A and B are shown apart, each in its own frame.
Chain A
Amino acid sequence: MVKLIVKNLTVFGSYLILMGRTFRRPERMRMFLKRYVKEMAQLGVDSIPIVLLISFFIGAVICIQMKLNIASAWMPKWTTGYVTREILLLEFSSSIMCLILAGKVGSNIASELGTMRVTQQIDALDIMGVNSASYLILPKVAGLVTIMPFLVIFSSVFGILGAYGTAFFGKVLSPQDLTIGLQHSFNAWFMWMSIIKSLFFAFIIASVSSYFGYSVKGGSFEVGKASTDAVVSSSVLVLFSDVFLTQILSQI
């Protein structure tokens, strides 16, 4: 038990040291901006199709489930739309979508940096006098944090479109009832909550995955292990921080 605590504290300490090296002024702003744009495309824009696809179908399924399980004679007809919107805005588009992205983006970051480590590309940067942590990790963190709110908004929109899909094509409920439910007691703060949470999650996913990839020691087996560790750790941290963030942001 003591060993486990010491090990985790050591990992946390190493993570903080790495972040200390990462958040330094870039040596060449031109090079940073080039990589920042590239990372936004690679980590964010390339994730748009999967985000849209999953959000559309989950939105549709939530709508069907709500209609089947909540709707009753004494419930207003708009309840299904209302609950679908709340679930999408408050949890699915921010937290669950980030969990899915932790798998896709986290493994991508960890395996890329891990491969660079084992093929000595990171050593090559260090030998040139480049702050390799800042050069490689900062654009990833900044890029994902920048693009994540857009992914959350796209996710919410496509989730709602999925719900409309069940109304128009599945005839689960009428589009009018769904629209009334979606508009009922709308609180704009929930949208902001979702975006704020996603910023934290994006930071966790990019920085934790970078840590595991950057710290790889050994060969290709360790790269695979780092990739798994990155996904598991960032997913757990996203879930853990979701509890605190939801509580804090709900009280504002």
Chain B
Amino acid sequence: MIEVKHLCKSFEGKRVLKDINATFEDGKINLIIGQSGSGKTVLMKNLVGLLEPTCGEVLYDGRNFASMNKREKIKMYREMGMIFQSAALFDSMSVLENVMFPLDMFSPMPQRDRVKRAQECLARVNLMDAQNKQSGELSGGMQKRVAIARAIVMNPKYLFCDEPNSGLDPKTSLVIDELLSGITKEFGMTTIINTHDMNSVMGIGEKIIFLYKGRVEWTGTKDDIMSSENKRLNDLVFASDLFKKVKEVENEAENEE
């Protein structure tokens, strides 16, 4: 379980995260939602150690990440997979080499087994045919799928996804959501996703943390969202006509009952 306690982060005196307290549950898809600039990415970077918290702590199974020594941190990193907003594939490598990279660096497996494992992961994201392509030749959705394959190749315990659907069309976003949801169940991972895509929230979110101006404004499940009285959350979630209509239909159904 990942716990965040009294976390804050400042950049040149400007506070971006303010006293964040949150728990990310094991084996579930935890979503961090919020408007652009609410601090989602900064929170995720603090979770994975790309940024050092200004105050507070991030606890992995009760152990503070910031106070771990270098060896412990590297061990911890082996238990993490991350999908970046830009996919962050190595553009000098082919798709297969990208997925094999963590194995090449850290796995004692022989070459044949490493290739086999990478191909299994590519097959899981339906990209076996693209294994010899360069990453730059792929579409945005395919790049995200390769990033997913690379993130899961070492069987991580924690999967972090920073805006996995950004820049993708709704249909491809759905494919990515289904993949993330399927993989989380299949591998029993703890998945943490940053998003402002409400389709993802209603589709795959199990635990939702709503950030507003660097603070945790609301926490709950996707079912709680529909009945939430929090105005700021409602402003974000029901900003789209589609969700407004969903809520209206739900309200009508409740009234009829």
Contacts and interface: CB of A to CB of B under 8 A. Distances in A.
Interface of A: 27-28, 30-31, 119-121, 123-124, 126-130
Given A126-B50, A129-B77, A129-B78, A121 B88 contact: yes
A126 to B, nearest CB: 6
B104 interface: yes
A121 B91 contact: yes
Interface residues on B, range: 20 to 34
Nearest to A118: B86
Given A31-B104, A123-B50, A129 B86 contact: no
Contact of B105 (A119, A126, A127, A130): A130
Interface-central residue, A27, A28, A128, A130, by most chain B CB under 10 Å: A128
Contacts of B104: 28, 30-31
B151 to A, nearest CB: 9
A143 to B, nearest CB: 14
Given A120-B88, A127-B160, A129-B78, 4 more contacts: A121-B90, A128-B78, A128-B101, A128-B105
B50 A28 contact: no
A177 B96 CA distance: 61
A28 B77 contact: no
Interface in B59-116: 73-78, 80-82, 84-86, 88-91, 101-102, 104-106
A127 B90 contact: no
B48 interface: yes
A27 B78 CA distance: 14
Given A27-B105, A28-B105, A31-B104, A124 B77 contact: no
Nearest to B75: A129
Closest 9 CB pairs of A and B: A129-B77, A120-B88, A124-B88, A129-B74, A120-B84, A127-B82, A121-B88, A128-B102, A119-B86
A127 B48 contact: yes
Nearest to B73: A129
A136 B101 CA distance: 14
A194 to B, nearest CB: 33
A117 to B, nearest CB: 11
A31 B105 contact: yes
Contacts, number: 49
A31 B90 CA distance: 15
A142 to B, nearest CB: 18
B84 A123 contact: yes
Nearest to A135: B105
A126 B73 CA distance: 11
A30 B100 CA distance: 14
Contacts of A123: 50, 84, 88
B45 to A, nearest CB: 8
Given A28-B105, A127-B48, A128-B102, A119 B78 contact: no
Interface-central residue, A30, A31, A123, A126, by most chain B CB under 10 Å: A123
A50 to B, nearest CB: 22
B13 to A, nearest CB: 17
21 contacts: A27-B106, A28-B104, A28-B106, A31-B104, A120-B85, A120-B88, A121-B91, A123-B50, A124-B82, A126-B50, A127-B48, A127-B50, A127-B81, A128-B78, A128-B102, A128-B105, A129-B74, A129-B75, A129-B77, A129-B106, A130-B105
A207 B106 CA distance: 26
A21 to B, nearest CB: 11
Contacts of B48: 127
A31 B101 CA distance: 10
Given A31-B104, A121-B91, A128 B86 contact: no
Contacts of A120: 84-86, 88
A230 to B, nearest CB: 19
Nearest to B82: A127
A119 B91 CA distance: 10
A198 B249 CA distance: 75
Contacts of A30: 104
B209 to A, nearest CB: 21
